[in-house]
Structure 1
Amino acid sequence: MPADQTLLILCVALTVVGLIGTAVAWRRGRRGRVVQGLALTLAPVALYLTGLLQVVFDFVLGVVRWATRIVFSPTVWAGLSLLAVCVVLFVVGGFVARRSPSAKELRARKAAAAEGGAPKQVGAGAATGRTAAPAGGPAGRQAGRQAAKGKQQAADVDPEMAEIEALLKSRGIE
Structure 2
Amino acid sequence: MLAETICSAASAAGLGIAAVTAYRKRFLAATRIAAYSLVPIGLVLTGVVQWVTDIAFKPSVWLGFGLLGVAWLLFIMTRAIERRGGGTRKERKEAARAARNGAVAPAASAPSLGAGLPAVRSQQREKPEKQTAARGSGDDFSDIEAILKKHGI
TM-score range, shorter chain: 0.3 to 0.5
Q: TM-score when scaled to structure 1? A: 0.40
